[in-house]
């Protein structure tokens, strides 16, 4: 027996495996392509990109990064034995985010489009960041590991269903906001399975807590009027930073949140200082009013989840099993359609324009050249 263990410990597979920490615990990875991708500069950069974008600096200061989320999605997909292609797609699905995450949607004027900015540039980003080189080295084509591949149903599914991506940011987020304890989040993680084309768990008691977290965050963060206006103001500050050459397109696409934030906060440009003051004191500028008094109406995307559950062999939505959940979700959807009735008490002059072109004409990750 001792010779078996000696052989096992010295085997190439064991020696080459690496452990990567995730919210759900260490992940043992032995596939060279995955190890190289996780350790690549473009992936490691996500440690410095906050999951909640500008809200990290205003209302939701959780230390939850796009890297944490990406490793979480990867862990979930690995747990349910997704194909290696789908695991890679999940690992890389957020790598193309600009600084401040979805503020990029406002900067490039796609915040009301179906496709997020980072998704529109994802394939190009994989090439520019050097990740394509790693993939090709190991026999993979970029076009076959894009996250919205129709075959990757473990990774992506339309709302209100759960998918690997949506499940992770709700699990980790629910922990940070106190909707779930760490033990409860891990219990759900361990219980989830992928069956009949859906993510399923028998812990409906915890699933209801997860759903209510998604209802809360849809209004309090992801779709809140504060997040909308501060994202607009930060995009305006970034645009002004580009105009006066305080920032570059490289900073936007390959930079780090804190470095860019510090550059804006330290700027002496009057317009940038005005925008940053509005962001940091948003409650003094944004007022929710009656619809007739509103300066603007801000509808928002309903990110409330309504997962599938299986009862006595029959698939049902969670809302079909709980009238209270059904009513809460109905009210959320109604509010999302109606939008927030907002008056901005003070505002800066708008930027001369928003950007409307994806990254282009970039020579390399190290020395990109961007053009509008």
Coil, strand, or helix at residue 260? helix
Determine how many CB atoms are found less than 10 A away from the CB of residue 120. Answer: 18
Q: Are 365 and 254 in contact (CB under 8 A)?
A: yes
Residues forming a β-bridge with 341: 297
Buried b (16+ CB within 10 A) or exposed e, 335-360: bbeebbbbebeebbeebeebbeeebe
CB 53 within 8 A of CB 222: no
Model confidence over 256-267: pLDDT tens digits?
999 999 999 999
Q: Which of 97, 41, 33 is nearest to 65 (CA)?
A: 97
pLDDT higher than 50, residue 5: no
Tell which phi-psi region holds residue 196, choosing left (phi > 0), alpha (psi between -120 and 50) or beta. left
Query: DSSP of 208-230, one letter per residue?
Result: HHHHHHHHHHIIIIIT-HHHHHH
Please state which of the ranges 110-124, 171-185, 341-355 shows the lowest mean pLDDT. 341-355
pLDDT band at 345 (very low <50, low <70, confident <90, very high): confident
Of the candidates 327, 51, 87, the residue with the CA atom closest to the CA atom of residue 170: 51
Is the pLDDT score of 207 beyond 70? yes
**Residue 40, CB half-sphere, CA atoms under 13 Å: how many?**
24
Average pLDDT in the chain: 91
Rounded to whole angstroms, how far apart are CA atoms 302 and 279? 24
Compute the distance between CA of residue 302 and CA of residue 221 in angstroms, rounded to an integer.
12
> Sign of the CA dihedral 277, 280, 286, 287?
negative
pLDDT at 136 over 80: yes
**Share above pLDDT 70 across residues of the chain, in percent, rounded to a whole number:** 89
Model pLDDT, residue 116: 93
Give the pLDDT confidence score for residue 128 in this predicted structure: 96
314-317 and 308-311 beta bridge pairing: antiparallel
Given this model, what pLDDT does residue 14 score? 46
Instruction: Quote the Cα angle for 348-352-353, to 5°.
Output: 115
Q: What is the pLDDT of residue 347?
A: 56
User: What pTM does this model have?
Assistant: 0.90
Measured CA to CA, the distance from residue 344 to residue 285 in angstroms comes to 5
d(CA 345, CA 367): 42
pLDDT at 370: 34
Q: What pLDDT, in 10s, does the model give residues 147-164? A: 999 999 999 999 999 999
The mean pLDDT value for 51-74 works out to 97
Q: Which two tokens stand for residue 85?
A: 């292609």
Of 315, 316, 319, nearest to 333 (Cα)?
Answer: 319
Buried b (16+ CB within 10 A) or exposed e, 164-185: bbbbbbbbbbbbbeebbeeebb
For 105-119, 124-138, 319-333, 349-363, which range has the lowest pLDDT when averaged over its residues? Answer: 349-363
Q: pLDDT-based confidence at 356, cuts 50/70/90?
A: low
Provide CB contacts within 8 A for 351, sequence distance 6+: 236, 239, 240, 243
Q: Is 118 helix (H, G, I), strand (E, B) or coil?
A: helix
Given this model, what pLDDT does residue 313 score?
86
CA distances, 136 to each of 84, 238, 258, 321 (Å): 15, 34, 32, 47
Q: Of 1-15, 97-111, 210-224, 307-321, which range is least confident?
A: 1-15
Q: Where are the alpha helices (DSSP H) in the chain?
A: 2-10, 12-16, 32-39, 41-44, 66-79, 84-92, 103-107, 117-120, 122-128, 131-137, 164-176, 182-191, 204-217, 225-243, 249-254, 257-266, 270-280, 282-285, 318-321, 323-338
- 287 burial level (CB within 10 Å; 0-12, 13-18, 19+): middle
The mean pLDDT of 305-312, rounded to a whole number, is 95
Q: By C-alpha distance, which of 175, 167, 225 is closest to 191?
A: 167
Using omega within 30 degrees of 0 as the cis cutoff, is the peptide bond preceding 63 cis? Answer: no
């Amino acid at each position: 027996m001792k010779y078996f263990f000696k052989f096992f410990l010295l085997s190439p597979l064991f020696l080459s495996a690496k452990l990567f920490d995730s919210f759900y615990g260490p992940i043992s990875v032995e596939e060279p392509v995955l190890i190289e991708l996780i350790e690549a500069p473009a992936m490691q950069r996500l440690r410095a990109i906050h999951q909640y974008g500008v809200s990290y600096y205003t209302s939701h200061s959780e230390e939850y990064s796009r890297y944490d989320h990406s490793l979480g999605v990867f862990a979930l997909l690995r747990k349910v034995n997704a194909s290696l292609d789908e695991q890679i797609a999940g690992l890389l699905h957020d790598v193309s985010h600009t600084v401040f995450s979805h503020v990029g949607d406002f900067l490039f004027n796609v915040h009301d489009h179906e496709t997020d900015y980072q998704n529109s540039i994802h394939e190009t980003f994989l090439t520019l960041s050097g990740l394509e080189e790693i993939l090709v080295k190991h026999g993979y084509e970029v076009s076959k590991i894009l996250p919205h591949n129709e075959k990757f149903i473990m990774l992506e599914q339309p709302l209100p269903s759960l998918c690997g991506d949506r499940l992770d940011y709700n699990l980790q987020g629910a922990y940070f906001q106190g909707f779930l304890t760490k033990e409860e989040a891990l219990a759900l993680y361990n219980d989830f399975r992928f069956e009949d084309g859906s993510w399923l768990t028998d812990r409906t008691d915890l699933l209801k807590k997860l759903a209510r977290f998604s209802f809360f965050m849809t209004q309090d963060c992801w779709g809140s009027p504060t997040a909308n206006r501060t994202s607009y103001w930060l995009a305006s500050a970034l645009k002004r930073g580009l105009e006066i050459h305080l920032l570059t397109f490289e900073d936007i696409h390959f930079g780090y949140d804190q470095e860019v934030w510090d550059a804006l906060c330290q700027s002496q440009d009057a317009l940038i200082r005005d925008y940053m003051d509005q962001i940091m004191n948003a409650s003094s500028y944004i007022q929710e009013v009656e619809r007739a008094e509103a300066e603007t109406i801000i509808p928002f995307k309903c990110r409330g989840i309504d997962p599938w559950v299986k009862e006595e062999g029959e698939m049902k939505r969670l809302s079909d099993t709980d009238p209270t959940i059904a009513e809460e979700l109905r009210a959320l959807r109604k509010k999302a359609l109606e939008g927030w009735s907002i008056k901005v008490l003070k505002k800066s002059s708008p930027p001369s324009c928003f950007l409307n072109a994806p990254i282009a004409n970039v020579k390399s990750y190290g020395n990109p050249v961007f053009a509008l």
